[in-house]
Copies of this chain bind each other. A is one copy, B any other.
């Protein structure tokens, strides 16, 4: 009845159990698992021959794979998928451990440092690479701007957000401004926009630009034109992430051929792809797992990425996770990522 059913879900319970045991074993040992071994591990008192039949079925379903005729079986991406989705037994972290992590983060005031610590924590606990997207949430607001004249027509602009983040940028203005002009412009902008959500500023500026043109107030026009430059891509600082422990990845045999490694590290340095991936993960609820090519980036060939969004004021502010070989101890990594996300969220909050 089930023998030539295409539906992937048609994996009977016993086969699932074998798949589970096989993957657990493979994750532990890193070697293809043969029928004899599996027969013992599964603890169901079946002969290797029987196991072989089941394995054959699993292979047909694309859940396991044989590197060559006379090797054991190795899970495929789909196999891992089913494993993490429905077979995995997660073992929660010890309370003591959580306490330790929490107290580590508690002492840190600066958001940047917090993020870096979280990343390091992830990498050192999992022995893989940790990654944390810089926090950003929609309640973030414009607080204050400062202009300082530099030589020529260059102006140093400093933008401070309601969260106490500081962004600075040097812009080139069309004409020179005196210090007092700049101060007035800043005052105008501060009175006008302070408290407004940051992501709406650009829109407001464009609207106000038209209005002021009618009123022909030079000062305001200048102020807005400068502000425009500031907000031009001031968001570029958002969308950054902190990576830690990438060298840990060199220790895994399955990644440790130079070519793989090079493209992998280049991907990290490039940032855009990782950012994209993290962005996807940000909108998901809770822990998410990308296995191998599932991520959509072949440079992450035999890597998995385990992520979890972290919240701040009951709103998703960012996402963090670890990157490691597909063959990782998910049952341990998942709770680590999960708890770190929660701890980072609350550590960021209590400021």
Contacts and interface: CB of A to CB of B under 8 A. Distances in A.
B151 A351 contact: yes
A156 interface: yes
A325 to B, nearest CB: 14
Nearest to A244: B269
Interface in A149-188: 150-152, 154, 156, 158, 160, 164, 166, 168-172
Contacts of A266: 247
A150 B164 contact: yes
Nearest to A160: B148
Interface in A264-298: 265-266, 269
The A interface is mostly helix, strand or loop, or mixed, namely mixed
Contacts of A265: 246-247, 250
A177 to B, nearest CB: 15
Contact of A164 (B109, B170, B246, B251): B170
Interface of A: 109-110, 143-144, 146, 148, 150-152, 154, 156, 158, 160, 164, 166, 168-172, 246-247, 250-251, 256, 258, 261-262, 265-266, 269, 351
What are the 10 A-B residue pairs with the smallest beta carbon separation, nearest first?
Answer: A166-B168, A156-B164, A250-B262, A109-B170, A247-B265, A110-B170, A150-B164, A247-B262, A256-B258, A247-B266
26 contacts: A109-B154, A109-B170, A110-B169, A110-B170, A144-B148, A146-B146, A148-B160, A148-B164, A150-B164, A151-B351, A156-B164, A156-B166, A158-B160, A158-B166, A164-B170, A166-B166, A246-B269, A247-B262, A247-B265, A247-B269, A250-B258, A250-B261, A250-B265, A251-B262, A256-B258, A258-B258
Contacts of A143: 148
Contacts of A172: 109
A261 B261 CA distance: 11
Nearest to A262: B250
Contacts of A269: 246-247
Nearest to A169: B110
A351 B247 contact: no
A128 to B, nearest CB: 14
Contacts of A152: 351
A129 to B, nearest CB: 11
Nearest to A151: B351
A170 B110 CA distance: 6
A164 B109 CA distance: 25
